[in-house]
Amino acid sequence: MSTIAFIGFGEAAQAFASGWKTVENNPIETPLAIFDIKVADAASRSALLDACARLAVACTETPRDAITGRTWIFSLVTADRALEAAEMIAPHIDEGALYLDCNSCSPSTKIAAADVIEQTGAHYVDVAVMAPVHPARHRTPLLLAGSEAAKAEGFLTRLGMNARIAGDKVGQASSIKMLRSVMIKGFEALTTECVLAARRAGVEEAVLASLQASDPGIDWKARCAYNLERMMVHGVRRAAEMEEVVVTLRDLGLPDGMAAATVDWQRRIGNLGLSAADLSLTERIDRILGRLLT
């Protein structure tokens, strides 16, 4: 049987669930079940229930209700709650079930979570989500690692997903994800520091023109606008991921100054709670500055 539960039902889980509905002959045999801690939060419960109704997903009140009898458990929580999620569901997971840890965590965090899960007789797979889940949804590239990676790859392929094996040891997929994020999320933070200061100094057009002349392969205005949007909308979640990047670097015995600074910028912009929809680069800069400088 192929029965699936989600622990956490945010943007990524909802993207996967909606994408699977487009797959012919997918192997899901019963409706998806989910547990999300938002179910107990009066402020967010209604939106969660609406999302579940829209996607025909069963929203449960406890982790046990979500995962009992389920053979495939997808964990998609925030990076700072990933180990906690594994500990929360371990007493209830069925022996032989596969736990797909899709969270953006350091290898050491994933190894700790794997130990928790595998002590129960269930199996653990390190999954790295390697790109934003929109617009690709279930086709977003995934990397898999662990002793059960090949089994997971086969199942995910039947679900129409875009997964490939990174290695047979837990942590190999997450290492790639974490170290890639040094560059991707760090570039976002550098973009923010650069363009906010340039706008504040009244020289943003000259700075952008100089960047364009130096590296014409990038549309610098478009890329800066995109990078700001990522931080405005997802900065808090990305800061949690970058904290795991800091752990990764420290575990490797390397300095973490750039990653630590990226945590600060991502969280600073994300905490502003600003919308980026339908705004130009200049409008995004001005909206951020208007909040930062008040």
**pLDDT tens for each residue of 239-269:** 999 999 999 999 999 999 999 999 999 999 9
Interior/surface letters 230-265, b for 16+ CB within 10 angstroms, e for the rest: bbbbbbbbbbbbbbbbbbbbeeeeeebebbeebbeb
4-170: CATH architecture: 3-Layer(aba) Sandwich (3.40)
How do residues 90-113 score in pLDDT, each as one tens digit?
999 999 999 999 999 999 999 999
- The pTM score is 0.93
What's the pLDDT score for residue 2?
73
Share of the chain above pLDDT 90, in %: 96
Percent of the chain at pLDDT above 70? 100
Pairing mode, if any, of strands 141-145 and 123-129? antiparallel
Q: How confident is the model at residue 1 (pLDDT cuts 50, 70, 90)?
A: low
Residue 258: predicted pLDDT? 98
At 27 the pLDDT is: 84
Structural domain spans, the chain: 4-170, 178-292
Which pLDDT value is given to residue 248? 98
Question: Is pLDDT at 75 greater than 60 in this prediction?
Answer: yes
Q: List the one residue out of 61, 82, 64, 67 whose CA is nearest residue 32.
A: 67
Q: What mean pLDDT do residues 223-248 have?
A: 97
Supply the pLDDT for residue 233.
Answer: 95
Q: What's the chain's average pLDDT?
A: 96
Dmax over CA atoms of the chain, in Å, equals 62
The conformation of residue 103, written as its DSSP 8-state character, comes to: S
Q: Is 151 helix (H, G, I), strand (E, B) or coil?
A: helix
pLDDT in tens, 35-61: 999 999 999 999 999 999 999 999 999
Q: For residue 170, give the 3-state DSSP assignment.
A: coil
What mean pLDDT is predicted for residues 190-211? Answer: 98
Mean pLDDT of 200-229: 98
pLDDT band at 26 (very low <50, low <70, confident <90, very high): confident
What are the residues whose beta carbons fall under 8 Å from the beta carbon of 277, sequence distance 6 or more?
none
The fold of 178-292 is N-(1-d-carboxylethyl)-l-norvaline Dehydrogenase; domain 2 (1.10.1040)
